[in-house]
Structure 1
């Protein structure tokens, strides 16, 4: 199969998923992934389609294959890290989710989706303080809500230690 055929088949499958025909897309992508087992982009699109169908357990191997490759664009690599971390979390594989999402933040330290899914995974591992810190910092730095903006500095300060209590003089 030549590159043009691979590119055309991949584009058609992604278009099917985009149009809501995810099962047809999945069938085509699985066949394409079998023909191109080292192709990270095909693996990523196959994983994404499995996720879209609620087939998270089947998506994991494709996400892992995509992330092991070297030919993903930065945007797709970010998507694969978020996808795999989120998938691990929804499967109850919380420690793997935390590890994947923390690793993603090494590469993409400012990504709000990675931070959000990490906070959820941390909550699932009972690391509530860190989960709240991450979410409050994200809220303080990204919200356009006027009330949040008005208290941005205080929210950022308290995010560092929600347990802080100021001692009152008697």
Structure 2
């Protein structure tokens, strides 16, 4: 087994442990693996996630940041779906830690990069709320509701919701 196969095997084992509910053990293995491969974006992402699921948000941040920085010398950046997940994870983590402006900045860029992703817009709306930008937050949520709701009564008033989302102070 070559070095690459061994690394991937160890990563797969750690992810499997997390999925089995053995979160502490997974986190320990991933921390060790991340120390051995500091430029590997995928390992950094999985290590961040392992911290996040344990409520260790502050410890997750440097791993998320490392994952999103790209692959460094190795050149192993994240696949698009993992990048989206890392952006959501870091943006949410910044918000939980009270780093609201960092959360807004990161999630604004993430929404631009992944405009079809409603979850990114929802988390951005929460961060906007935390910065006191309530109109912007509500506008974003109303647009998301109008665009994605399957509720027949919401769909019936979709145009009105979209209209008022643009100017929440409008009366007609």
TM-score for both structures, normalised by structure 2: 0.94
Q: 2:125 aligns with which of 107, 116, 119?
A: 119
The runs of 5 or more residues in structure 2 that have no matched partner are 72-76
Q: For residues 100 and 116 of structure 2, what CA distance do their matches in structure 1 show?
A: 22
For this pair of structures, how many residues does the alignment match? 166
Map of 1:47-86 to 2, 5 A cutoff? 47-70=48-71, 71-86=77-92
**Equivalent residue number for residue 19 of structure 2:** 18
Q: For residues 116 and 170 of structure 2, what CA distance do their matches in structure 1 show?
A: 26
- 1:130 matched to 2:131? The reply is no
TM-score for both structures, normalised by structure 1: 0.95
Q: 1:158 aligns with which of 145, 164, 169?
A: 164
The runs of 5 or more residues in structure 1 that have no matched partner are none
Map of 1:96-115 to 2, 5 A cutoff? 96-115=102-121
Give the alignment's Cα RMSD to 1 decimal.
0.9
Deviations 1:106-137 (A, max 9, x none): 21112111100000000000000000010000
Structure 1 runs (4+) deviating above 4 angstroms are: none
